[in-house]
Amino acid sequence: MASNPSGTPPAGVCSPETRTTVLRHLDRILKSSPFRSSKRNPALLKYIVEQTLDGQSDALKERLVGIEVFGRAPDYDTSTDHVVRTAAGEIRKRLAQYYLHEGAQDEIRIDVPPGSYVAEFRPAAEVTASSAASPAVADEGRPIWSGDRVVRLFLLGSLLANAVLAIVLVLGARPWFGGAAMLRKFWDPVFTGTRPILICLGLQTDFGWMHAGFGTPEVPAQKPPASANDLVTLLQDPLMRRVNMADLLALARVAGYVGERHARYRIADPGSTSFSDFEDGPAVLIGVNNNKWTRSLSERLRFGFAWNMASHTVRIVDKQNPEGTKWEGTYDPALETTKDYAVVSRLLDRRVEQIVVIVGGLGAHGTEVAGQFITDPDQIKKLDAYAPSGWARKNLQVVLSVEVVKGSSGPPKVEAAHFW
């Protein structure tokens, strides 16, 4: 196969035989499981490959790709609309998945190197040879090596593993180690891209002056709005709305953990968030009753929320067993001990083709412990009793419960879990 040193055939060099071979290989890729569930990714990869084969590398610029493939206006702002960059990142990940499994035995490779929208075509033998000189990351973070280095590295790895295991056992730190590993596995899919993580925080719409007496002993009386127009203005301004303390605690935990992983994030409220925002990168949703996106993106999941409009209550239901257990909290202030429930979900949502993490409780204490569960190694290790092999690559939902004694939350308990 004729190619230049970068692996991309320049204009006029690609032979008809090479073109036929590449296009046949492209068709196989587009029909594979990593690509057939998507609409925009196959369209972009097909465009990139065909333009490269035609020697039209100059047409593979971000703005032109956005216009030709995604129908953007000629003057669209590439600094705020990252559809091309996001889709290209998804293509690179899906190609890696394809060649790791279905395309492992293919004779050629199609790559789209980072920082470029020009495709590279190389015989699989060249890829294998280059892999022998440097490690590549595969499933669960295990390195792939080729040649006789495998034996040496296996022996060295065995010695190191035994040494680490001995230290862990001696220090009695194995539970902590397991929890830390599970925490990373839970969050690793969220950090695969380069886009900032969207944290969508639910907001309250009630105000002290909307209740009888315009205030309580805990909340000083506030002056009511001068007119209905003022009320509408306040309700439309997210900075003027109340935030549930439990949601804030969950937000602080999530933002703190994301910061520890040196990832970027941005915070938005449901009212200023559109469906297209979830297509741009991973997202974390906090809150149930006060977050419309939690309700929308959870409606097809096994563990969902059911609202009783007459009693103004919400409960968690198992849609695969509708006549079975229904988790409904107790909120009687006369009781010394009450109970709350929450659902934690992590999934690749096919509608937005991005990882979404959903954290929401029936009440405030449920949301609080859900945020704790996904950021605390000591808590998330409780999932180990339910998690199947390879769970880190699966979608998951966890139903949590918490005992609340005199207004203080206890540790979360796993009631049920589902992986798929």
Q: What is the full per-residue pLDDT of the chain (420 aa) written as tens digits?
A: 444 444 445 444 567 888 899 999 999 999 999 998 888 899 999 999 999 998 888 889 999 999 999 999 988 888 888 999 999 989 999 998 898 888 888 888 999 998 889 999 888 766 555 544 444 433 333 333 333 444 444 455 555 566 555 555 554 444 445 788 999 999 999 998 788 999 999 886 543 333 333 333 334 444 555 555 555 555 556 566 677 788 889 999 999 999 999 999 999 988 888 888 888 889 999 998 888 998 888 888 999 988 777 766 788 999 998 887 789 887 777 788 889 999 999 999 888 889 999 999 998 899 999 999 999 999 999 999 999 999 998 999 999 999 998 888 899 999 999 999
Residues 197, 142, 371, 289: is their CA dihedral positive or negative?
positive
- Token readout for 37 is 């569930």
- Token readout for 23 is 């296009």
Domain parsing of the chain, residue ranges: 16-134, 149-180, 182-204+243-419
Q: How many residues does the chain have?
A: 420
3-state helix, strand, coil in the chain (%, to 5): 45, 20, 35
Degrees (nearest 5) of the Cα angle 231, 234, 240?
145
Per-residue pLDDT at 397: 96
Of 331, 397, 404, 343, which is closest to residue 370 (Cα–Cα)?
Answer: 343
For the beta carbon of residue 381, count every other beta carbon within 10 angstroms.
Answer: 19
CA distance 111 to 283: 27
Of 80, 57, 44, which is closest to residue 8 (Cα–Cα)?
Answer: 57
Which residues, at least 6 apart from 136, have a Cβ–Cβ distance to it below 8 Å? 143, 144
Which residues, at least 6 apart from 210, have a Cβ–Cβ distance to it below 8 Å? none
Of 37, 68, 77, 75, which is closest to residue 50 (Cα–Cα)?
Answer: 68
Per-residue pLDDT at 220: 44
Per-residue pLDDT at 209: 32
CA distance 25 to 110: 9
Q: Name the amino acid, one letter, at 132.
A: A
In 189-277, which ranges are E strands? 197-201, 265-268
DSSP H/E element including 66? helix 62-70
pTM of the model: 0.54
Per-residue pLDDT at 275: 85
CA distance 67 to 173: 55
DSSP H/E element including 143? strand 143-144
| Integer CA distances (angstroms), 67 to 51, 78, 322, in order | 14, 11, 47
CA distance 67 to 77: 11
Q: Can you name the residues that pair with 200 across neighbouring β-strands? A: 268, 285
For 215-291, where are the alpha helices, taking DSSP H only? Answer: 228-236, 245-260
For the beta carbon of residue 178, count every other beta carbon within 10 angstroms.
Answer: 15
Per-residue pLDDT at 137: 38
Q: Can you name the residues that pair with 249 across neighbouring β-strands? A: none
- Token readout for 277 is 């925002």
Helix orientation angle between 16-30 and 40-53, rounded to the nearest 10 degrees: 170
Which residues, at least 6 apart from 252, have a Cβ–Cβ distance to it below 8 Å? none
